[in-house]
Amino acid sequence: MKKNEIIKLISKRLDIQKNTVEDVLETFLDIARQELENGGEIPIPPLGRFKVQKYKERNSRNPKTGEAITVPAKNKVVFKQSKFLKESVAGLPPTTMTGIDLQAARKKISGQLSLLD
């Protein structure tokens, strides 16, 4: 699914203008990027969480030549799925259901957006 499709779906489900949804999504992505750059993690209930995994420098071999090489230390962003997502994707009945009340979310978002005006 592409970003524009996500924006369109959120806009339709919550009855909010697309440009507002796009601004919120862009802000979220910017905050998430900054948090991960600082070594933090981003929980996205009930799906899982993004975090930075640090890998130490290590010795290895070039598989083609057999030459010993040093692989430098690096950081990678990893996603740890929740039990709910794992069971849901596997087609199992989830043991922990998390429902989202769209009407409550719409009211909460509308109230917060009006504060920005």
Cα dihedral 61, 62, 65, 69, rounded to 10, equals: -60
Question: Would you kindly state where each structural domain of the chain is located, as residue ranges?
Answer: 3-116
pTM recorded for the entire structure: 0.67
Spatial separation of the C-alpha atoms in residues 50 and 10, rounded to whole Å: 21
**pLDDT for residue 107:** 67
Cis ω for the linkage preceding 93 (within 30 of 0): no
The CATH architecture that domain 3-116 belongs to is Irregular (4.10)
Express each pLDDT in 46-77 by its tens digit: 889 999 999 999 999 999 999 999 999 999 99
**pLDDT for residue 89:** 87
Write the single-letter amino acid at 77: V
Counted residue by residue, the chain has a size of: 117
Helix (H) or strand (E) holding 23, with range, is: helix 18-37
